[in-house]
Structure 1
Amino acid sequence: MEPSGDFREVFIELREKYEKACLLIEEESKSDPENAPYRSKYAASKILTEMKSKLVNILDDINAENSDYVTVKAMLGIVWLLLGTVSLDTEELSTGEEQLMKCVECLSDDALRPEYIISQITALNQLGLLWSQRDQPKKSQEFLEQAETLYKTYSKEINLPATDAPSIFKATVPETYSSGPGTSLEKTHTLTLYYLAQIYGALSDNRKSAIYCHTTLKRQLETKDFDPIDWALNAATLSQYLMEKVGFKEARHHLAAASFILDQYEGEIGHMNCNEEELAARGERLAHRRADVTRCWAKYGLLLLSNSKERLMEQGETTKQSEEVEQINENGDVLFAFSSLEVNSYEDQITDKYILTFDDARKVFLKTQEWLNEAKQYYTLDSHASDYVQIVQDHSQLFSHLAFFEDDEERQSRMHKRRVDLLESVLQQLNPQYYMLVCRQLWYELALTYSDILDIKLERLQASDSRPTPHALRKINHLASSSIANFTHFLDSLKDPSTKEFPDTISEDLERPALNAHCHIGRLYSKLVTPDKKVNRENIKKSIDAYQFIVDYCEKHESGRQKMSVELGVCQEMVQLLPLKLEKLTQDVK
């Protein structure tokens, strides 16, 4: 509606001030000096404050029947909103909260008007974001759900095109201006959903968080309003939740969509109008995030093998996949799918069904290994050591999962040997002084891997009627000694650097691994084969010491008893039995 003659000149002045304030907020603020980072926004706030005073005075002079009343009130709501946004940007949080609430209060008596709705929802979004930053997710949730309800009610009851801020001020504002109420209602609602996804995550309601995250991604696709890199990363991240809930079909679909969008973006980069430096930056960002999405694909393959293994070990267990998906799709909607994307070729790379045979496991293994090797091209040991080590550990676990599906014991051993080669290779290149946490993980996993190979060899010997060869016995001793050595490296790393003493109380995150390492060491010393009775006695003593450590620690620490509830009884039994064996050996020596 055009303003009446009484206010035409005033509205022209307000429009000019609005355009100037937007220019200061969106453009000129980018060039503010470091010693005055908020100069332009402070200038915008001054202009907006003048506008607010003028609009309040106008509203005092007219009533609701005046033809300009709705426009003036809409302008005032926008000004309050912009003032609040600027205050938040300049770290004046309490002032910003007050101004945003003024916006909501100003427009709340007729919130569903097309002229008011965008400002209302944007203000509620900003309040939700503010309380989230204050680490009060429940308060944030209240504002965001209020914004969501407003949008749903408006869409159902009004369903008219909403009027954005530039249209209300009859202003010319470049489309690149993205903040404030100058955005469309649909884009504003998408932000509401995005914030709700984060808030439900913070409230540990992962199911709702996943639903809102997917809905946000789907709306961004439909409106073609998204950053391809961010979109792909968010889709791949969501896949991690879906696969953990055993929704492999949904997880694979999101990974396929992420790869599709990245490939599409790669094809567009070459046609972008930008200089070489910008092009290189875009290429680097793409390479980085493609490596991240590739790692998510690898996690998918690893979890599929791992869950398939657990499922086969627990015969008769009802599959959880359909139950979980049914729970997620509680409204009967076809959720977690992007129907607008052609992603079949990406999905066909790997199955979404549980693995039952070695041949099927091998297919998953080979594809997952390909993804891990691809990720290592970006995450190298020189440039991203921690990430590189994690990829190597994933590769090790991949061989471990494949070994489960292999019936031939010799081939199982070779798979575990590949794990040893991978882990030892990277460990040799790391300095424990700088990468102690990583080295601890590698020592521990190496120790377990050597122990796994040892168990395979021992089973073969026990199943054979023939006498073990000297070579076989040397192999047994080598595997047991290598496992002990790595467990010992791990335990030594927990000692006080100055006193070389083991701590009286082990930190909570290391308590179970440390006690379990002692348990393994106690068992491994008993597996060493030697004709020398004196050496045999020493090995038994070391075995007793390892078991005794666990028993003594658990007597002093309830946390230890809880973490070792299964193993503690065996350790107590060994502490009773092994001294008898030691005494018999001693008598034999005499």
Structure 2
Amino acid sequence: MTSIKEVFVDLHEKYNKVMKLLTEDSKLDPDNEPYLSKYSARQMLIGMKANLENLQKNHIESIERSKITGMLGAVNLYLGIVSIDVDEMSTGESYLEKCHEIIKDHLNSSELIMVTLNMYNQFGILWAQRDNEKSKTYLEKAEKLYLDYKKSAVPPVDICDLFNYSFQENNTEIAWKNLAKIHTFTLYYLAQIYGSLKDALKSSIYCHITLQRQLDSNDYDPIDWALNAATLSQFFMEKNGFKQARHHLTASSYILTKYEEELNRISERNETYDAKMEIFNHRSADVARCWVKYGLLLLIKSKERLLNHTDDIDVNCSISSDLSFLNLEDSTVTSRDLKSLKFSSLNIDHYENKITDKFILTMQDARLVFLNMQTWLHKAESYYSLDNFASDHIEIVQDKSQIYLNVAFFEDNPENQAKIHKRRIDLLENVVNNVNPKYYLQYCRQIWFELGQTYSEMLNIKSDRLKESSDRPSAHILTKINHLIERILQKQYQKKFLMILKKLSFKLVFMLVL
């Protein structure tokens, strides 16, 4: 007769095989059988479930009964996870409900706390596709349970140790780390749910907390972390939170720099190294583009702020570049939440101060932003070249042109304004002359339109100078103006150009006749 110990040893071996199938083998499954390993794991779990249910019927010691309850709950949990992963939602829900039924009297026990938290997370994932509010309820249960359990300071039992014959083998340090990791997943899922519920600010706070916890536990992929931090910065800057956006972008660049140092220490330069460097260069260029967007949006928002508040702006304008000063009436977040949007474990103040997070007021301010952006533009263009990534390259050039345009707003000298617009023209004509409109017609139309606007801006500057002068215009000036008109005519792919041109030409002819 098989002893209870032998049964437990067999269950432990099968558990390890299941984990290998789910965490390792499944990544190598062929494209035509993407769930091959997960189906194999499910069959093994079904067998384990039957064995445990048979054991549960026997009159065994209470400590073994508690252990069997934990293992049976865990097996149903994994059956639910596998079913959800292979898109069998109803089956997955049934297994999760069975898991809850088994462990409902021991939800916050040290042996079952990890099973419980994972179960609530899986319910959250399941219901995210059906009912976001219900999904949030499950995830909030997981969040509260974790915080309450942590206060108890009772060492948790890792799920893998449930399948060990003796609890004495439980590694409490690893168990605490794994418990914290489960909670990090809870916060990540809550971030997604709040986003789906249109509470973007709350979602951003949970995203930040997730990133902070990954840093604290030193459990993250540098590339993924940097991209997530940079993506979060885009949300903050669109909300005028340039202080928070700058901090997250700086953190992103800092993590990438540290990762580059790690790559440079690799002595064996093989295909694996080359692949890692390619990914690094690619994602570094993406973060550089986020920095370009930061500078551009800071200039645009500063320009709008000045145009909307022409008198005593410091008194009449309540817009702040720091989200912690946001009006939070009827909001689900607090000022304290917003003030905590900082990675306290990273010493990056020195890097942050290379560019302002305050609204631009003068040309000197704008010039400093412009100069900082040149570094990031160069980095982005170096990777996204016109030959290899034409669409991306064109978009970067368009951003560069818009930076020039918005810097020109802060320039008081008309001659300097004209020079800035001339740079835009050179930039845009260079790229549009080197792409085939047959394949990039949408981009070409956008650039033609912008070129028409830019020539019109220059024509306005020249005509304003003529109006201010009492002297008859020289032949040289008239030649320049005629050239500008000709260039506008060449860009008349949009009706708007013709309307602008007619108005400007009429004004110019009328002025010259006088």
TM-score, reference length from structure 1: 0.77
Per-residue deviation, residues 72-111 of structure 1 (Å, max 9, x unmatched)? 1111111011112222333333322322232233323331
Q: Report the secondary structure of 2:154's partner residue.
A: coil
8 Å CA contact 1:104, 1:124 repeated in 2: no
Root-mean-square deviation (CA, aligned residues, Å) is: 2.8
1:100 paired residue number: 96
SS at match of 2:509: coil
Summarize the alignment of residues 131-146 of structure 1 with structure 2, pairs less than 5 Å apart: 131-132=127-128, 134=129, 136-146=131-141
* Corresponding position of 1:476: 481
Q: Name the aligned partner's letter for residue 149 of structure 2.
A: Y
1:523 alignment partner, one of 492, 499, 503: 503
Aligned partners of 1:106, 1:270: CA distance in 2, in Å?
52
- How far the C-alpha of 1:135 sits from its partner, in A, is 6.7
Residue 263 (1) aligns with residue 257 (2): yes
Q: Quote the offset at 1:303 in angstroms.
A: 1.7
Distance 1:531 1:60 in 2: 102
1:537 is matched with none
SS at match of 1:321: coil
Aligned to 2:463: 458
Closer, same or farther in 2 for the Cα pair 1:107/1:138, shift >3 Å?
Answer: same
Contact in 1 for aligned 2:8/2:165 (Cα 8 Å): no
Is the CA contact (8 Å cut-off) linking 2:360 and 2:366 kept in structure 1? yes
- Are the aligned partners of 2:236 and 2:244 in contact in 1 as well (CA < 8 Å)? yes
SS of 2:470's equivalent in the other structure is coil
SS at match of 1:214: helix
- Residues 182 and 432 (structure 1 numbering): CA distance in 2 closer, same or farther, change over 3 Å? farther
Indicate the SS of the match to 2:13. Answer: helix
- Segment of structure 1 superposing worse, 413-422 or 46-55: 46-55
| Contact 1:166/1:182, CA 8 A, preserved across alignment | no
- Taking the TM superposition and a 5 Å limit, the aligned residue runs for 1:147-546 are 147-156=142-151, 158-170=152-164, 184-272=178-266, 276-313=270-307, 314-315=309-310, 316=313, 317-321=316-320, 324-327=323-326, 330=334, 332=336, 334-486=339-491, 488-490=492-494, 516=496, 519-527=499-507, 529=509
- In the alignment, the residues of structure 1 paired with residue 322 and residue 370 of structure 2 have an alpha-carbon distance, to the nearest angstrom, of 27
For 1:78, which of 74, 92, 95 is the aligned residue?
A: 74
Deviation at 1:411, TM superposition (A): 0.9
2:42 pairs with 1:45:
yes
For 1:136 and 1:518, the matched residues in 2 are separated by 52
Alpha carbons of structure 1 residues 109 and 524: separation in structure 2 relative to 1, 3 Å = farther
Take 2:239 and 2:41, find their aligned partners in 1: how far apart are those partners?
A: 49
| Cα deviation, residue 336, structure 1 | 1.2
Distance 1:481 1:140 in 2: 62
Aligned to 1:567: none
Cα deviation digits, residues 529-560 of structure 1 (max 9, x gap): 39999xxxxxxxxxxxxxxxxxxxxxxxxxxx
- The one-letter amino acid of 2:272's match is E
Change (3 A) 1:140 1:432: farther
Deviation sequence 1:357-388 (CA, Å, 0-9, x none): 22221111111122112210001011111111
Distance 1:34 1:337 in 2: 41
Q: Does 117-126 or 248-257 show the bigger shift? A: 117-126
Q: Percent identity?
A: 48
Call closer, same or farther: CA 1:109–1:520 in 2, change over 3 Å.
farther
Larger radius of gyration: 1
Cα 1:364/1:531, change in 2 over 3 Å? closer
Q: What displacement does 1:323 show? A: 7.1
What are the residue-to-residue correspondences of 1:48-67 with 2, within 5 Å? 48-62=45-59, 66-67=62-63
**For residues 75 and 390 of structure 1, what CA distance do their matches in structure 2 show?**
55
Displacement of 1:236: 1.0
Moved more, 182-191 or 277-286: 182-191
CA offset digits 1:131-176 (Å, max 9, x no partner): 44x37544433332232232223234x332221111111189xxxx
The answer to whether the Cα contact below 8 Å between 1:252 and 1:347 also exists between their aligned partners in 2 is yes
Change in CA separation of 1:191 and 1:257 when aligned onto 2, cut-off 3 Å: same
Aligned partners of 2:456 and 2:3: how far apart in 1? 89
* Per-residue deviation, 1:432: 1.7
Moved more, 332-341 or 373-382: 332-341
- The answer to whether the 8 A contact 1:77-1:107 is kept is yes
Match of 2:85 in 1: 89
Contact residue 211 and residue 229 of structure 2 kept, 8 A: yes
Question: Which stretch of structure 1 is more off in the superposition, 520-529 or 339-348?
Answer: 520-529
**Alpha-carbon distance between aligned partners in 2 of 1:463 and 1:442, rounded to the nearest angstrom:** 32
Paired residue total: 493
**Following the alignment from structure 1 to structure 2, what is the Cα–Cα distance between the partners of residues 302 and 87?**
46
Once the two structures are superposed, residues 236-279 of structure 1 have per-residue CA deviations (whole angstroms, 9 ceiling, x without a partner) of 11111112222222211111111111111111123458761110
| Deviation larger for 313-322 or 302-311 | 313-322
Partner of 2:113 in structure 1? 117
Residues in 2 aligned to 1:170 and 1:442: alpha-carbon distance in whole angstroms: 67
SS of match in other structure, 2:343: coil
Deviations 1:189-246 (A, max 9, x none): 1111112222222332110111011100100000000000111111111111112222
Displacement of 1:453 after TM fit? 1.2
Equivalent-residue separation in structure 2 for 1:222 and 1:517 (angstroms): 56
Q: Secondary structure at the match of 2:374?
A: helix
C-alpha distance 521-205 of structure 1, shift in aligned 2 (>3 A): farther
